[in-house]
Copies of this chain bind each other. A is one copy, B any other.
């Protein structure tokens, strides 16, 4: 029998692969300016520190690190992560589970909870990578209306009553792709609605430490009394995405199901990369490292905003207080998906906004990342986009 006749699983019927992962391959082209991806700046990646730490931990605890570990996590990291996460979230935590990036945390949460057809409520637009995850679990992904301050609480309650969702997925701080932050007064109501109706909140918060203005807001998790909120954390944006270490924090009953799921996903996250993160936390290297990253990212953000101010009338865009992304809405007649090829040919790449909408559309939108380009590259890349817009507007 020919392999063409092989039937793949139904979960792939509506999934063809992440648009970002495909665009990502373009980034590797020499000279390409990338406003796509959510990559840290090269200068933000602590290679020398990691080299020293990797050597030290393998010399000191190599026999444990190289052996099978517990699915529940590398013991020293469990300790340092617990303290770190309680500080970060401003609340006591029952249980923390290190994961292979926070991507795996979302995957495990879906594995634990989602049957085909179950509803997951999402922001509109939302992170496309996790939408792919939801679709591979054959979830019914339903968007909820937002404004400048994040999800609208009355619309959320309506959607919960109507759809009986299993999960509400939210990125409350410097949202991907919009850069918007859920305002303080909407955080407690979300935790309360979750408990009232029995909805698990996946609070995905990888950007919270990258704040360039304003003050930190309480986590949704800090208002959680019954255990319905699961916090997804990441070290990808503040240490390194390439080492794949994230975590989930929440009720031990939910995390136990995720742990059993993880046993057959990858047994455990690499002990070596867990040990590296442990040393960053234990040696308290993060605060100074984050201060230094934020200083450059702020300059990059300001440069991109200044460039956007010169874009044609009818262009609107967000003014994020942190994170990695600006969300741009071009005049309605422009199509960011169509313009992408021309931009790539001239040396700049971004992600068309349509990919971030559960129901598509919104062809005049795009997501711009500023963390992975120097100030010079931002000037140059934005000039190219402006030029392509001008030609498309003729």
> Pick the contact of A244 from B37, B111, B260, B266 — CB < 8 Å?
B266
Q: Closest chain B residue to A37 by CB distance? A: B68
- Copies of this chain, complex-wide, total 2
Are A67's CB and B42's CB within 8 A?
A: yes
User: Measured between alpha carbons, how far is A51 from B40 in the docked complex, in Å?
Assistant: 26
User: Measured between alpha carbons, how far is A137 from B111 in the docked complex, in Å?
Assistant: 10
Answer whether residue A70 sits at the interface, using C-beta atoms and an 8 A cutoff: yes
Contacts of A15 in B (CB 8 A): 260
Answer whether residue A12 sits at the interface, using C-beta atoms and an 8 A cutoff: yes
- Count chain A residues whose beta carbon lies closer than 8 angstroms to a beta carbon of B: 96
Are A1's CB and B196's CB within 8 A?
A: yes
Are B264's CB and A130's CB within 8 A?
A: yes
Are A6's CB and B254's CB within 8 A?
A: yes
Contacts of A103 in B (CB 8 A): 264-267
Contacts of A40 in B (CB 8 A): 67
Contacts of A28 in B (CB 8 A): 70
User: Measured between alpha carbons, how far is A111 from B260 in the docked complex, in Å?
Assistant: 17
Q: Which of A160-217 contact B (CB under 8 A)?
A: 166, 195-198, 200
Q: Closest chain B residue to A39 by CB distance? A: B68
Answer whether residue A5 sits at the interface, using C-beta atoms and an 8 A cutoff: yes
User: Measured between alpha carbons, how far is A5 from B227 in the docked complex, in Å?
Assistant: 12
> Pick the contact of A136 from B2, B47, B64, B261 — CB < 8 Å?
B261
Answer whether residue A271 sits at the interface, using C-beta atoms and an 8 A cutoff: yes
Answer whether residue A55 sits at the interface, using C-beta atoms and an 8 A cutoff: yes
Answer whether residue A226 sits at the interface, using C-beta atoms and an 8 A cutoff: yes
Are A113's CB and B270's CB within 8 A?
A: no
CB within 8 Å for A227 and B3 given contacts A67-B42, A272-B272: yes
Contacts of A129 in B (CB 8 A): 263-264, 267
Contacts of A42 in B (CB 8 A): 63, 67
Contacts of A101 in B (CB 8 A): 266-267
User: Measured between alpha carbons, how far is A167 from B104 in the docked complex, in Å?
Assistant: 25
Q: Closest chain B residue to A75 by CB distance? A: B28
Interface centre among A3, A10, A251, A268 (most CB of B within 10 A): A3
Are B115's CB and A136's CB within 8 A?
A: no
Q: Closest chain B residue to A131 by CB distance? A: B264
- What are 17 A-to-B residue pairs whose CB atoms are below 8 Å? A3-B228, A3-B251, A8-B112, A21-B263, A39-B68, A45-B62, A45-B66, A46-B66, A47-B63, A47-B65, A50-B66, A51-B54, A66-B239, A66-B242, A100-B100, A100-B270, A273-B273
The 9 A-B residue pairs with the shortest CB-CB distance, nearest first, are A47-B62, A51-B58, A133-B264, A54-B54, A66-B240, A1-B198, A55-B55, A45-B66, A242-B271
